[in-house]
Each structure stands twice: as C-alpha cells, then as structure tokens.
Structure 1
Amino acid sequence: ITWLKRGGSLSDNVSLLFNGSLLLQNVSLEHEGTYVCTATNALGKAVATSVLHLLEQRHLDSKSVFPKDRKKHMLQVSNAGTDSSDPTGEPLPPEPFWELGNWTHCSATCGHSGARVQRPRCVLADGQEVSEALCQHLPKPLAGFQPCNIRDCPSRWFTSPWSECSVSCGEGFHSRQVTCKRTKANGTLQLMSPGACVPKERPPGRRPCSGHPCGQW
C-alpha cells in the first residue's frame, strides 16, 4: 500500500499504519488536499482517494487549525473513487465521485463582505472532471464557504448627490459634499481627514449650471 498527495508531497509528520491507513499529526492548512492510496496484490490493483478539508478556524496561540486535543487526522480508504483491475490486468471502468474543487478568488479585497467558495465537482480517481450526472447517485457535498480579506479598506473619496441649481435664472452652480472615508472590517464607514485620501483623485464639489434668462424690468 502506498500513499501520495495530489499536487504535492507528503509531509514529514505523516506515517503509514499497519492497517494501511495514513496518519497525519499536527494537522494544518498545508495538509488540505486530495490523498491517493494505491493497493496492489496478485489479483490486481485498486486506487482510492480521500479528501482532507479543514473547516475549523485557526487558533491564535497555535500554527495548527485544531485545538491541542484534536491534532490528529486519519485518512482511510473508502469505496468511493476506486479504480480497480481484474486478474487479467484489464482495467475496470472508473467510478466517479464528488470532490471539492479549488477555492475561488475572494469576492472583495477588503471590508466585511469578501468570501470565497469551494464548489463540489464530479471527478475520476485521476482528477479528471466529468459530468455531474455521473455522480447524481452519490450524496453531493455542500460547497465550502470562507470569509476572506476581512480588513479595513484604504481611505477614498465619497460624494453626495448634486444639489439643485443655486439660481432660478442666470448663471449658478450645482454643489455636493465630498468627504474622505474608509470602510472598516466590520462594514461601517469611518470619516477620515482629507489628507488620508489621495488629493489628485478628489472629485469636484461644484459645477456650473444656468436657469432660464432673467427678466428685464
């Protein structure tokens, strides 16, 4: 029995148990991914995959994502995602299975609304994506969801709507308020001093307008 990690290598704190299971200790985000197990004997070969997906938040006092009493995770082979050969060596049709794909890019660069999604996809044991219809008989996992880029945004200029023309006849102007603010990580707007924003990007606060010609007396 051999194990490998798709798209990477096994870390040093991984060991193979006597029953063929893979034991991961001090699990961290770098262990996330798809692990492939290959078992061979005189009758043929079987390949199975297991997906390690971490959902718990990182603890501030540790580089791992689990509390101290939950730093071990064991991967075991299941029937899902196997690719077997019969005694003659002819490969059997591979069975597709659900696997969570890569994380999408964060939907925002700052503020409080950024999120990224990990969508399930139907794949074969070699990672090839196939039609979801081939996996419809299997329970479909929920998509992964993570908040991201939750931090204060840089300060920028905000404007109010333009006012009515300042005169009813002749030449006048529209005006509006121009303020420097930033969106905080909790979603609120914080008023900043004008120097916190880029001066050359400041939008105008006034523009000309004209009413109908004034009457002559």
Structure 2
Amino acid sequence: MPEFAHLVSGYKRFRQGAYLEQKSKYDLLSSDGQMPPVMIISCCDSRVDPATIFDTVPGQVFALRNVANLVPPYQPDSHLHGASAAIEFGVTGLNVQHIVILGHGQCGGIKAALQNHGAKEKSESFVHNWMSIIDDAVEHVCNSTSDDKQLALELEAIKISLHNLRTFPYIKEREDSGQLKLHGTFFAISDGILHVLDEETGLFSPA
C-alpha cells in the first residue's frame, strides 16, 4: 500500500523537522493542555485543509471537519450528534473566542444536494440525509436564475450554518455578550482567494 507508506514517510519528515523545531510549543501543549482561541468548521474535502489555508500552528485552532462544512440546528435529544458535540466542547469546554465557517468551491456535498433536488423517495444515504440541513436553500437556488447554482448554494450553506450556530443557546449568549464572534468565509482552490462574509450586506468579499 504505497499511499500508507507515503504517510509514514511524511511522519518521519515531521518527526525530524517541524516537531523538533516546535518542540517547546508541543511540550507546553502537552503539559498545559490546549487553549485554542479559534474554532474552524470546514469540509472534509481533501483539497481544503484549514491548517494549510490559514497557515496555523499547533494549538491555534480547534477544527471540526464534516461533509460540506454544515452546522445542524440545535437539537437536544438522545440521538448521536457528532458535529454538535464538537461545537459544544469548543464553546463551553475550550471557550473559543471565534468560530469560522469555511466553505469551499467544487464541494461534493453541495453537488450531491443539487443532484438530489426533487427526490421524493426516502434515502438510506448518510450524505443525503446530512445534506437535508440545507433543503430549503437547495429549493431556493434551484428555482433561482443564478448562472452558477453550485457556487450560489456553497455560499448560501455558509449563511445557514451561521444561522444554525445561533440556535445553540450558549453560542447566542456569548455572541450577544461579546465573548464570541462568528465568521463566514469561502475559499476555492481554483483561484486561491479567501472571501469573507459581511453579514450586514450578505455579500462575500476578498479578504
């Protein structure tokens, strides 16, 4: 399995290079624990690594990666909520000061949501059911005159995730008191430009 061998080789380079260069930082993180000021919610797409895009260092970011960087609405029940658990820990356990939603271009989850638009049969696909978080946005975009429905939905999904974050009571409380700030961002590998959402205008502009 050459792919795994590449990973092991990469580990050896890390162990002999970056790990030694940042040994004092790793020692502090080991002894004092993590206190990242920022949580980033991004897609698990292999092309969009938030640590690479933002050039972060160990301990700087608490990261949650899932399909299409979506946040589900707050739903306190006995079901399994991996994304919500990570958000809860980041906010109430680590006291992050910023949450960044990082959307991206050519998202496979967004593409699947558009392709499944109008499907009436019940699906056993985890991806299909997960993407139902943005069903209303899919309907709106598909009925719009947008020339690039993929991009339109990618941007709209970021806004929905920000809205859903605010359904978590401890997030809304901290945002209202100024302890926490929420940010929407979008990155595409096709041009390498990071766009930031202005929630007052609803528009994304280059950072």
Give the helix-richer structure, 1 or 2. 2
TM-score, normalization by structure 2? 0.24
Look at both structures and tell me which one has the larger radius of gyration over its CA atoms.
1
Q: Of the two structures, which has the highest relative contact order with CA contacts closer than 8 Å and spacing of 6 or more?
A: 2
